Amino acid sequence: MSQNIRNLSMDPTVKTTTLTDLAHARLEEMISTLLLAPGEFLSEQVLAETVGLGRTPIREALQRLAREGLVTILPRRGVQVTPIDAAEQLLVIEVRRELERLISRNAAARATEEQRAAFSAIADGLDRTGRASDALEFLRLDREMNLLMLDAAHNAFAVRTMQLLAGLSRRYWYQNHRDTADLPLSARLHAAQARAVASGDPEAAAAASDALMDYVAAFTKAAQPREN
């Protein structure tokens, strides 16, 4: 089964759980679940104590989060959880639309047979969760599909770039999905994209991606008045 050994990069045993990664994961979750409120000011010291780590990993994690736009570093003054701004969010989506289309198109063109089968399975699952309005299962499948997509697209840079934008999107979704999201529609659109990728038709996959992003943009605009 292990036919696909990682090539030249000699990392067979990279068990790299650095504390910086951990801090980053913790903080990103706290921010995107609004446990750390948008606009709130943070101090490295306090964060270090609450997370139970030293200042160094916290600081490095904050710099990564700043790159992702989740926090804003005010030089010599401190760190602020970036306020939620629907207008900015639309700019994020503007960029995501292009990258998602690229990834979707590439995945359709480059996916292996196993990956196509996996996409089909996910599409079926999404249809079920859409009819049942099973939010938890939907989120699980969404995550799985994302990973599969990034893997199938075979472009590490596109992946890295997408991940840079994912955080802000996640937080916005989390804040507004209860009131504004249309889960059945979203599930249908995701399923359509998965099927297009599975079928290996790049242009269909690109179109499906655009349709999905249209929905995301509409969702963002619909939630706009609720802004913080």
Partner DNA sequence: GTTTGCGTTTCTGTATTCAAAGACTGGTTT
Partner DNA sequence: AAACCAGTCTTTGAATACAGAAACGCAAAC
Among a copy of itself, DNA, none, what binds residue 157 when CB lies within 5 to 8 Å by partner kind?
a copy of itself
54 binds, among DNA, a copy of itself, none (CB under 5 to 8 A by kind): DNA
Q: Which of 176, 217, 164, 222 is nearest to 84 (CA)?
A: 176
Residue found by looking up tokens 């992702």 in the block: 68
> Residue 17 CB, nearest distance to DNA (Å)?
7
Nearer to DNA, 79 or 99 (CB): 79
Tell which one of 74, 117, 132, 147 touches a copy of itself (CB under 8 A).
74
Binding of a copy of itself by 155 (CB under 8 A)? yes
Cα separation, 117 vs 52, whole angstroms:
43
CB of 126 to a copy of itself, least distance (A): 26
Residue among 50, 49, 55 nearest 20 (CA): 55
* Minimal distance, residue 61 CB to DNA, in Å: 10
Query: How many amino acids of this chain bind a copy of itself (CB under 8 A)?
Result: 34
Are the beta carbons of 111 and 155 closer than 8 angstroms?
A: no
Cα separation of the two ends of the chain: 50
69 touches a copy of itself by CB under 8 A:
yes
Q: By CB under 8 A, is residue 141 in contact with a copy of itself?
A: no
Q: How far apart are CA 10 and CA 19, in angstroms?
A: 23
**CA 88/CA 82 separation, integer angstroms:** 11
Nearest Cα to Cα of residue 81 among 25, 46, 26, 31:
31
* Token pair 């979203």: residue: 186
Q: Does 200 bind a copy of itself (CB under 8 A)?
A: no
Q: Which residues bind a copy of itself (CB under 8 A)?
A: 7, 9, 14-16, 18, 60, 63-64, 67, 69, 74-75, 77, 80, 88, 91-92, 94-95, 98-99, 101-102, 106, 154-158, 160-161, 164-165
